[in-house]
Amino acid sequence: MTDPKRFERIAFLASQAEDARAAQESLTAKYGQAPLEEADVVVALGGDGMMLQTLHEGMGQRVPIYGMNRGSVGFLMNEYSEDDLPERLAAAERTVIHPLTMRARDRNGRIHVAKAINEVALWRQSYQAAKFRIEVDGKPRLAELVCDGVLVATPAGSTAYNLSAHGPLLPLASPLLAMTPISPFRPRRWRGALLPDRAAVAIDVLEDEKRPVAAVADNTEFRDVKRVEIALDRKTDLVMLHDPGHGLDERILAEQFGW
């Protein structure tokens, strides 16, 4: 166990939910509120959306983030308790994950860059299906994919939208990315691919004016894209803390057995 004194300076961040705001007020009264730039740890109060927001805001700072569930969905969060917080933080297991970098070029030639912790997704913007051409490491792999969209997910994000789109669950330590089509029409039997996490993915939008497409990195969206390049950013470490026995590895394993 880490020395609890290592986590004396705690910054509490809360979502807009009433329960999260009330928890922040109560915890701040009990443990104080450190300035974010001086904190030993950040405690995020809310649901998974709040955890993702906090991870994005702390990207590159290497400050560990411990989430407590005060929202509707809490896959990434720990159970809420106000007791013995420094001791819980000291006993917590560390999980280090890396985000994806999305580089998107729109039809006007503008370049947009964003990070994604869960997934990068390309969506049709109109009633017509989208058409894509997919390259992996510069080699064409799929000349034409007709579908509502396609996404590339990290292991941490494989339990999110990727799972809802019938993509595979990935153990957190696996050196893989999941590429999953959304409502594929052609090829009918293509259900996606598992890629090495060192792979460089490029997706070209075919017939982009007739079939416009938006690219989304977690919650950052760019519209009317023509080409999207996706790669794992190994230089950026994101550190999450979970109570012993409740880390992401265990949760991903349990999810596969329907728990």
Task: Let me know if 48 is a catalytic residue.
Answer: yes
Question: Exposed, middle or buried: residue 235 (CB in 10 Å: 0-12, 13-18, 19+)?
Answer: exposed
Do 86 and 7 touch, CB atoms closer than 8 A?
yes
- Compute the distance between CA of residue 78 and CA of residue 85 in angstroms, rounded to an integer: 12
Binding-site residues, in ranges, read 48-49, 118-119, 148, 156, 159-164
Which residues, at least 6 apart from 209, have a Cβ–Cβ distance to it below 8 Å? 107
Q: Residue type for 237, please?
A: D
From the list 3, 19, 40, 48, the catalytic residue is 48
Task: Report yes or no on whether pTM surpasses 0.75.
Answer: yes
What pLDDT, on the 0 to 100 scale, is given for residue 173? 84
Q: What is the Cα Rg of the chain in Å?
A: 20
Q: Which long-range contacts (CB under 8 A, 24 or more apart) does 107-113 make?
A: 107/208, 107/209, 107/224, 107/225, 107/226, 108/224, 112/215, 112/222, 112/225
**Do 100-232 and 4-97+236-256 fall under one CATH topology?**
no
Could you check whether the bond before residue 187 is cis, i.e. omega within 30 degrees of 0?
A: yes
Token match 């969905």: residue? 73
Q: What is 4-97+236-256's CATH superfamily? A: Probable inorganic polyphosphate/atp-NAD kinase; domain 1 (3.40.50.10330)
Sketch the domain layout of the chain as residue ranges: 4-97+236-256, 100-232
Binding-site residues for NAD(+), in ranges, read 48-49, 118-119, 148, 156, 159-164
126, two tokens:
């109109």
224, two tokens:
């009317």
- Compute the distance between CA of residue 44 and CA of residue 244 in angstroms, rounded to an integer: 18
Residue 2 three-state SS: coil
Q: Residue type for 109, please?
A: G
What pLDDT, on the 0 to 100 scale, is given for residue 249? 72
What pLDDT, on the 0 to 100 scale, is given for residue 7? 85
pLDDT in tens, the chain (259 residues): 566 667 889 999 999 999 999 999 999 999 999 998 899 999 999 998 999 999 999 887 789 999 999 987 678 899 999 999 999 999 999 989 999 999 999 999 999 999 999 999 999 999 999 999 999 999 999 999 999 999 999 999 998 899 999 999 998 889 999 999 999 999 988 999 999 999 999 999 999 999 999 999 999 999 999 999 999 999 999 999 999 977 677 777 777 776 5
Report whether CATH 3.40.800.20 matches the domain 100-232: no
Q: Residue type for 173, please?
A: A
How many CA atoms does the CB half-sphere of 205 hold within 13 Å? 30
- Compute the distance between CA of residue 31 and CA of residue 19 in angstroms, rounded to an integer: 18
Q: Please measure the distance between the N-terminal and C-terminal CA atoms of the chain and give it in whole angstroms.
A: 28
**Beta carbons within 10 angstroms of residue 237's beta carbon:** 14
Task: Give CA torsion, residues 234, 174, 47, 41, to 10 deg.
Answer: -50
Do 228 and 202 touch, CB atoms closer than 8 A?
yes
Do 115 and 56 touch, CB atoms closer than 8 A?
yes
